[in-house]
Amino acid sequence: MPKALVLYHYLYPDDVISARLFDGLCARLASRDWDVTALPCNRGSNSASQGYRSHETSQGVTYQRIWRPPLKQATTLGRLLNASWMIAAWGLAALRYKPDVLIMGTDPILSIMVARFWRRVQPKMVITHWCYDLYPEAAVADGLLNENSISVRGFKKILKPAYRSCDLVADIGPCMRERLRAYGHKAQEVTLVPWALYEPPSLPTVDANVRKALFDDSSLGLMYSGNFGRAHSHKEFLDLARMLKGESIHFSFGIRGNAAQNFKDAISPQDTNISLAGFAPESELQKRLVAPDIHLVSLKPEWTGTVVPSKFFGSLAVGRPVLFAGSKESSIARWINEYQVGWVISSQEDIARVAAELKELSKQTALLRDIQTRCHRVYHDNFSMNATLDRWDEILRELLERKRSVH
């Protein structure tokens, strides 16, 4: 039975999305006869005072939690100290654990740095990295760091040998892969996307009450639901909504995050086809996801390749096409064009074109249903949990067999 060790900051029973995805990976490997041990911290992601047991087993996965000081993630200093603590603890773990395969994520930031130490201590081990967000590139996109600053150049210099220590670098979109190549690694490359937490086997039924509360009696409903941070833009959506004013098309925003207030301030009393909805708790999320006809997703161009909004996959999973505001070079734009599952707007010309298409779509119920059916099929064929996790198991076994044949 091959042994896998997983390094990720927050895991079971934490309910943060990335933790649940990594837990899914751990559980699937355990069900496929892997001996899986995970080393998360003993704190909750939303409350440093919330502690978990140091040792626990769930779904065949052994969780050996690392004690971490109760420092708040909400502060910059706390986040940096927590990251440093976990990176140091994981480095020391190389002296104790002897797995066949090491799997690392990107929480905390820069945790890939431990790969170099593990490679030196255990040269025969398979080292893999599943990159969800890219640092320091994301900090540069956010304006927190300057691309040419000493700190950014220093981080990249340190990170290069870490990436070069990996046997597999898994991205969550081709635009991220292109950025990762700048580190000069020779690892195998693969795209393994974050699947949706809600995967109905067929097109789900819309709750009429939820639908009416969000869009009243409009023929076509578009919604942005989820976190709205500094990586997300809203101008394109406002321009589109204003161009469609007077049509039976309504835009609803159920958002929270550090840029949500900026969006709310930009709405005027004349924007009568735009409304705000409360942020949906997870218990109501399924009804919320199904209610709109189209989901809105955005990513500012400068963030391209540093993150890939996971709500794209959640939208397709419930059979909803995506209207994406962002760079045409982003992974989401490429998938939308490849699979014909939505629209991309990155210029005023795009907005005018899409507005005309939405006007027609609002009058063609059968066409909208066909598009939604295609989205649901595309998701299950290409992006589902089973597709991603089966690919993980396959790749890890291939890498392990190749490594053993060499040594």
Q: Which of 62-76, 264-278, 290-304 has the highest mean pLDDT?
A: 290-304
Tell me if domain 3-195+384-406 and domain 208-382 are identical in fold. Answer: yes
- What sign results for the dihedral spanned by CA atoms 344, 348, 350, 353? positive
Distance CA 15, CA 37 (A): 19
Distance CA 86, CA 323 (A): 38
What residue spans define the domains of the chain?
3-195+384-406, 208-382
Average pLDDT for residues 249-276, to the nearest whole number? 91
Angle between helices 235-243 and 348-361 (to 10 degrees): 50
pLDDT (0 to 100) of residue 283: 75
State the residue for tokens 């929270």. Answer: 256
- Residue 278's pLDDT band (cuts 50, 70, 90): confident
Q: Do residues 103 and 126 touch, judged by C-beta distance below 8 A? A: no
Provide the percentage of residues in the chain whose pLDDT is more than 90: 85
Q: Do residues 87 and 110 touch, judged by C-beta distance below 8 A? A: yes
- Residue 73's pLDDT band (cuts 50, 70, 90): confident
> From residue 287, how far is each of 39, 315, 342 by CA, in Å?
35, 12, 21
- Residue 185's pLDDT band (cuts 50, 70, 90): very high
State the residue for tokens 């195998």. Answer: 188
pLDDT (0 to 100) of residue 181: 96
Q: Do residues 341 and 317 touch, judged by C-beta distance below 8 A? A: no
131 forms bridges with which residues in the sheet?
none
- Residue 256's pLDDT band (cuts 50, 70, 90): confident
pLDDT tops 70 at residue 407:
no
* Backbone angles phi and psi of 290, in degrees to 5: -85, -25
Average pLDDT for residues 226-246, to the nearest whole number? 93
104 forms bridges with which residues in the sheet?
7, 129
Q: Do residues 388 and 193 touch, judged by C-beta distance below 8 A? A: yes
Q: Do residues 230 and 306 touch, judged by C-beta distance below 8 A? A: no
- CATH class of the domain defined by 208-382: alpha beta
pLDDT tops 90 at residue 326:
yes
- Residue 39's pLDDT band (cuts 50, 70, 90): very high
- CA torsion 199-204-209-212 (nearest 10°) is 100
Tell which wins on pLDDT, 260 or 331. 331
Mean pLDDT rounded to a whole number for the chain: 94
pLDDT tops 90 at residue 79:
no
Tell which wins on pLDDT, 4 or 51. 4
Distance CA 295, CA 297 (A): 7
Distance CA 244, CA 273 (A): 8
* Backbone angles phi and psi of 347, in degrees to 5: -155, 170
Q: Residue 189: enclosing H or E segment and its boundaries?
A: strand 188-191
Q: Smallest Cα–Cα separation from 342: which of 373, 363, 359, 320? A: 320
pLDDT (0 to 100) of residue 51: 85
- CA torsion 87-89-93-99 (nearest 10°) is -50
Q: Which residues contact 176 (CB under 8 A, 6 or more apart)?
A: 131, 134, 305, 306, 307, 308, 331
Around Cβ 44, how many Cβ atoms within 10 Å?
Answer: 17
What's the first-to-final CA gap in the chain, in angstroms? 18
pLDDT (0 to 100) of residue 115: 97
Distance CA 73, CA 314 (A): 26
Q: Does domain 3-195+384-406 have CATH number 3.40.50.11030?
A: no
- Residue 191's pLDDT band (cuts 50, 70, 90): very high
pLDDT tops 80 at residue 406:
no
Distance CA 344, CA 333 (A): 6
